[in-house]
Structure 1
Amino acid sequence: MRVRSRCPNCRADRLLPGRDAAGTPVRRDCAGIPRDFFCDRCGFEGLLLGGRLCERCTLADTLGRLLNDGTGRVAPALQPLITALLETDRPKSRLIWLRNPNVARLLRGLATGTIPLTHDGLHQESPWRTVAHLRDLLMDSGVLPRVDRQFMLYQRWLTERFAVIEDPEHRRRLEHFVTWHQMRCLRSKAEKGPLGHSQISQAKQEITQAGAFLAWLADRDRTIEHCQQADLDAWHTEKPATRRPAQTFLRWCLTSPLPEGGGFLRLAP
């Protein structure tokens, strides 16, 4: 039902759903097939689904239902997404994608406003692969501004990472470092070109090892305000290669005020 070419019998360029005596695909009239395969809405000749609609018209109806803003119409801000999805050469693949319950949930949420139509709004949703693909579609269709993909994935990683840090003071210090140092650096690099995996991997290691250092200090009944040079020496001596990424955080603490007026980190000899 998807073979379209010039019929070897009548030379018409049409759908070839039948077979002749030799088994060659031919037009329905040439094969003696009584029914037609024209969409009752748009007239396209092809595979018909429910209501004798083609795959593209079925896709349009499905999107219309999922992106209903609650008033019986498609959310205006999401109309460009529908337009882009309907321009696909393979509407069947989009119909299969829409059967994913997570896709349907995300689209309904964006249409009704329960999920903010922003990068930050999507940032709170899961599963991340489904969200990442939808985000790409929203950017490609102009619904959302384009941002660096690696940068967005890193932001999601940070959310998950901070969620498992039990000490609120440690989390606050790391968030301060991310906001005033890491994000500024990554945004500056992203403006010059797409971020690479290695750059994001380095940023993750900085946070992981900085958090590990704060926890290590706590186990020694110390805080970073009372950190001594001997503490740094002991920390790096144990696993020098693994713990080296924490140096970025420590250097930043030495030159930047600690959050909420905590002053600068001063290392006691």
Structure 2
Amino acid sequence: MNTPVVLITGALTGIARATAVAFARQGAKLVVSGRHDDAGAALVAELRGVGAEAEFVRADVRHEADVRALIDATVTRFGRLDIAVNAAGTEGKPGPAVEQTPESYAATFDTNVLGTILSMKHEIRVMQAQGAGSIVNISSTFGHQGGAGASIYAASKHAVEGLTKSVALEVGSFGIRVNAVAPGPVQTAMLDRFTGGAEGKAYLASLNAQKRIGEPDEIARAIIYIGSHGASFVTGHILTIDGGKSAG
């Protein structure tokens, strides 16, 4: 697969945006998706600026019709789908479990869990017909460790990791690999919102061996590796990239 066709959901910000740029620099053909047309057009212009073939498709992963149309548009444009990065996500409403509501639960799970399920459903539809493909879901260290004040978000990422392992078992015989990347704290707008600023980020940095916050490019490189043929015997795996946070 010299020139893979790559789809990235939630691609307009943070780790997913960095991943799109990294794939573009390697010559991939890209479909990037999100909910904002202006940001999508700006990202596509940047990707094309480094020589990549790239398209933006507006989609909300909470709605199956949008997801179906997104996958179909990818195949119509490029003829196949080799790597899908399911990165659309939200931190929801941070706070203790006793402050959560049915509405805050749904707002988080509809994007992080339902969105992942719907994305995989339609990605697999295409990849199974091809007899090959690689799916990378984006989790978090909260997906296997938990975190005070992040109960709903952590629960949603636990679900993403369970889905990743279960679906990997279901589709491995069709030549499809399904893995997840679980970042620790990374410098993104989501982290800013979650921590409330420099003091909260400094505390999170103090919990890992490197005593720093990660950069989106560092996570992007891991996503590219686990999605690539270089990881051809890796499936059902959660790749943790956290500066040593989970070592202690």
TM-score (norm 1): 0.22
Q: Which has the higher contact order (CA 8 A, sep 6+)?
A: 2
The answer to which structure has the higher helix fraction is 1
Bigger Rg, structure 1 or 2: 1
